[in-house]
Chains A and B, each alone.
Chain A
Amino acid sequence: MPVPTLAVEDLRVAIRGDEGVARILDHIAFRLEPGRILGVVGESGCGKSTLIRAILGILPQGAAIGSGRILFEGEDLLAFSQAELNRSVRGSRISFIPQDPYLALNPVFTVGAQMLEVMRRHRPGAPREHRAHLVRLLRRVQLPDAEAALDRYPHQFSGGQRQRLLIAAALACAPRLIVADEPTTALDVTTQQQILLLLRELVEEMGLAMLFVTHDLGVVAELCDEVCVIYAGQSVETGPARALLDAPLHPYARALLACHPDRAEGFLGIPGAVPSPLRAPPGCRFAPRCAQAREACASRAPHPRRAAPGRMVDCILHDPAAVPA
């Protein structure tokens, strides 16, 4: 088996805040193979951004890793210092496409200055060559007037154009992995389609791996090879996108798909609310809202099981070791 580009193993992150300790991530696990796109799906507040921050090493003050490993090409990123991450990981081997292109660019510096800031640290060559490389990339991401773009300021571009700029920036140092944080949610539908198409092409063309975080199952169906469903900080189900979306196994994944407007027969909500990470129930966090919950769910520790080839489910219903009801 080849070394996966990214493997997250039993990751737990807690953040100490004004109101106590919030266990934001509680057992997250997934693998991302080279050349694949993994969609991480969950509702807002499920811990998606904390997961991204943990991978990139930019967790907020007061955050503590409880357990787990984040293996990037076999190396545990959690063991890296900030300086090491800057030197050999962030911006070079792992790059990042942020959620909101309107807010992610520094408004008082030219686009070129910002893109070159990262490049000159990771690529050999003179500034002039870097600029030429950037212009090539900007053309590749179909940014109009690529030559002049580098000397302009962020506010002079539209949202879609800024997202193209950020994609080009992410590609500038030939990364192995792109972490994308809902990069299309802030855009209108047509632009969204174009950006998704562009990302798909680029991943195939350059043989990268991409971690694509989103709440939008439609985007997952269109773009991703694999899916990891997260509920309240726990990865409840992972597997190939097609198979998982066709026949979800975990009750939460099923309920989530049933809510999707493309397939819902009438409006179906999930009763109850996502538990606060401050007062998360022990055991399965979905149990209080789950129609099929058993007594044992409340105390059952996270325990993913292989349910089908390539598919992992963390649910008592699919755990042969658990006592059947």
Chain B
Amino acid sequence: MPGFILRRALLVLPSLFGLLVVCFLLIRLIPADPAVALAGDNATPAQIEAIRRSYGLDQPLPVQFGRYLMDVARLDFGTSQFSGRAVAEDLAQRLPATLELTVAALLLGVGLGIPLGVLAAVHHNRWPDFLLRVVSVAGIAVAAFWLAIMLQMLFAMRLGWLPLRGQISAGVTPPAGPTGFLTLDCLLAGRLDLLADALRHLVLPAVTLSLGGLATITRFTRAGVLDTLQKDFVTYERAVGYPRGRLIWLYVLRNSVVATVTQIGLLFGGLMAGAVVVESIYDWPGIGSYTVQAILTADSKVMLAVTLLIGLIYAVVNILTDLVHALIDPRLRETR
């Protein structure tokens, strides 16, 4: 297994390098003059010139890229223009909140999406299937920012059941560390009251963020189960009297989730991107809201760092996905 992980990790490196090149080129080349774009609308020529020099933009592109690579290798992403702190430091501080949110959304999506997908497949082309198909397509079609506002309006503003925004109530001092994950830290510190508060804050953002993934997981589980139901071994299992419940939920499902697991891997990238919108609406102190601020202030250093970070997370999740595949399907354990 360790060899397997190492090999997969090495395969990821060229893609990450490609990601660096593309990001770098896009951000440096698209605007006619990045220095002008960076300086803003009211900059004087002298200011633009100063920015050009301070960013090394007067150097040839390969030199700029080489310098950039060196910086990345040292995890030095520069200083954020709007926070005035090191980008790496900002990201490290905010990453746990985003991971907490995305993992919660993913758990919701998997926990509901897989059973719903199975139900749709079992009732193929009958009304539960039609209903779930429409609902799951709607889950992909709904704009997360709008859903977030609707949920806020209903559950926070009108009913007052859940907090409107933030990760924890104002005026409360959360335990500092040791993991940086708020819910986990509250639990470790034995502060169940704070844990409940944090969880209440987590509900709306996680639900909003999960919906797209939930819909995707439902769809792929449905397709996977439909596919498996055509297999000869299912006919055999029915012919020798496997009880229907165990047949579907154990024997068929385990064969069907391989494609779903792949999707979960792919989804994680989408969740990170979705977090950008969801976090900024719910004032969630994670990477997403940070990114929006960076974009609004055209902070290209932060944008590059975030893109790279998401690419990296994406790669790691894909390696994990392959591992889970191998756990589900014994045939994959040997061929690699």
**Touch A–B, Cβ below 8 Å:** yes
Residues of chain A having any CB pair with chain B under 8 Å: 52, 56, 58, 82, 85-86, 89-92, 95-96, 98-100, 103-109, 114, 117-118, 121, 153, 155, 166, 169-170, 179
Q: Who on chain A is nearest to B257 by CB? A: A108
Q: Who on chain B is nearest to A99 by CB? A: B232
Q: CB-CB < 8 A to A153: which residues of B?
A: 330-331
**A109 and B243 within 8 A (CB):** no
- Asked if B242 is at the interface (CB within 8 A of a chain A CB), the reply is yes
**A155 and B232 within 8 A (CB):** no
Q: Can you report 17 A-B residue pairs in the complex whose CB atoms are below 8 A from each other? A: A58-B238, A85-B241, A86-B241, A90-B238, A98-B232, A99-B232, A103-B231, A104-B232, A104-B233, A106-B255, A107-B233, A107-B255, A107-B329, A108-B329, A108-B330, A109-B251, A170-B240
**A118 and B233 within 8 A (CB):** no
The answer to whether A103 and B330 touch (CB under 8 A), given A90-B239, A108-B255, A118-B242, is no
Q: Who on chain A is nearest to B332 by CB? A: A108
Q: CB-CB < 8 A to A105: which residues of B?
A: 233, 236
Q: CB-CB < 8 A to B233: which residues of A?
A: 103-107
The answer to whether A86 and B243 touch (CB under 8 A), given A98-B235, A104-B233, A106-B233, is yes
**B232 and A92 within 8 A (CB):** no
Q: CB-CB < 8 A to B242: which residues of A?
A: 86, 91, 117-118
Cβ-neighbour of A118 out of B240, B328, B329, B331 (below 8 A): B240
How many Å from the CB of A223 to the closest CB on chain B?
21
Q: With the chains together, A108 CA to B326 CA distance in Å?
A: 10
Q: CB-CB < 8 A to B330: which residues of A?
A: 107-108, 153, 155
- Asked if B246 is at the interface (CB within 8 A of a chain A CB), the reply is yes
- Asked if B237 is at the interface (CB within 8 A of a chain A CB), the reply is yes
How many Å from the CB of A116 to the closest CB on chain B?
12
- Asked if B254 is at the interface (CB within 8 A of a chain A CB), the reply is yes
Q: With the chains together, A100 CA to B328 CA distance in Å?
A: 23
The answer to whether A100 and B239 touch (CB under 8 A), given A107-B255, A108-B329, is no
Q: With the chains together, A121 CA to B244 CA distance in Å?
A: 13
* Interface residue SS majority, chain B: helix
Q: Who on chain B is nearest to A109 by CB? A: B251
**13 extra A-B contacts, CB within 8 A, seeds A106-B233, A106-B251:** A56-B238, A56-B239, A91-B242, A95-B240, A96-B236, A98-B232, A105-B233, A107-B255, A107-B330, A109-B251, A155-B331, A169-B240, A170-B240
**Contacting residues of chain B (264-283) with chain A, CB-CB under 8 angstroms:** none
Instruction: Give the number of chain B interface residues (Cβ < 8 Å).
Output: 21
Cβ-neighbour of A108 out of B237, B241, B243, B254 (below 8 A): B254
Q: With the chains together, A85 CA to B241 CA distance in Å?
A: 7
How many Å from the CB of A163 to the closest CB on chain B?
12
Q: CB-CB < 8 A to A166: which residues of B?
A: 236
How many Å from the CB of A22 to the closest CB on chain B?
18
Q: With the chains together, A9 CA to B231 CA distance in Å?
A: 30
- Could you say which of A92, A105, A117 has the most chain B C-beta atoms within 10 Å of its C-beta? A117
Q: With the chains together, A91 CA to B238 CA distance in Å?
A: 9
**B241 and A98 within 8 A (CB):** no
Q: Who on chain B is nearest to A169 by CB? A: B240
Q: With the chains together, A91 CA to B247 CA distance in Å?
A: 14
Q: With the chains together, A103 CA to B230 CA distance in Å?
A: 11
Q: CB-CB < 8 A to B331: which residues of A?
A: 107-108, 153, 155
How many Å from the CB of A170 to the closest CB on chain B?
8
**B239 and A103 within 8 A (CB):** no
Q: Who on chain B is nearest to A89 by CB? A: B241
Q: CB-CB < 8 A to B244: which residues of A?
A: 82, 86
The answer to whether A96 and B254 touch (CB under 8 A), given A108-B330, A153-B331, A155-B331, is no
Q: With the chains together, A57 CA to B175 CA distance in Å?
A: 62
Q: With the chains together, A166 CA to B329 CA distance in Å?
A: 21
**B236 and A98 within 8 A (CB):** yes
**B237 and A106 within 8 A (CB):** yes
Q: Who on chain A is nearest to B242 by CB? A: A117
Counting from the closest, the 8 A-B pairs by CB-CB distance are A90-B241, A91-B241, A103-B232, A91-B240, A96-B239, A104-B236, A86-B241, A153-B330
**A109 and B231 within 8 A (CB):** no
Give a binary string over B321-336; 1 marks a CB under 8 Å from any A CB, 0 the rest. Answer: 0000000111100000
**A90 and B329 within 8 A (CB):** no
Q: Who on chain A is nearest to B228 by CB? A: A106
Q: CB-CB < 8 A to A108: which residues of B?
A: 254-255, 328-331
Q: CB-CB < 8 A to A95: which residues of B?
A: 240
- Could you say which of B232, B239, B242, B243 has the most chain A C-beta atoms within 10 Å of its C-beta? B239
Q: CB-CB < 8 A to B329: which residues of A?
A: 107-108
Q: With the chains together, A58 CA to B242 CA distance in Å?
A: 12
**B254 and A109 within 8 A (CB):** yes
Cβ-neighbour of A58 out of B231, B235, B254, B328 (below 8 A): B235
Q: Who on chain A is nearest to B254 by CB? A: A108
Q: CB-CB < 8 A to A104: which residues of B?
A: 232-233, 235-236
Q: With the chains together, A96 CA to B239 CA distance in Å?
A: 7
Q: CB-CB < 8 A to B238: which residues of A?
A: 56, 58, 90
**B255 and A98 within 8 A (CB):** no
Give a binary string over B207-244; 1 marks a CB under 8 Å from any A CB, 0 the rest. Answer: 00000000000000000000000011101111111111
Q: CB-CB < 8 A to B235: which residues of A?
A: 58, 98, 104
**A121 and B254 within 8 A (CB):** no
**Contacting residues of chain B (56-85) with chain A, CB-CB under 8 angstroms:** none
Cβ-neighbour of A96 out of B240, B243, B328 (below 8 A): B240
Q: Who on chain B is nearest to A172 by CB? A: B240
Q: With the chains together, A209 CA to B309 CA distance in Å?
A: 67
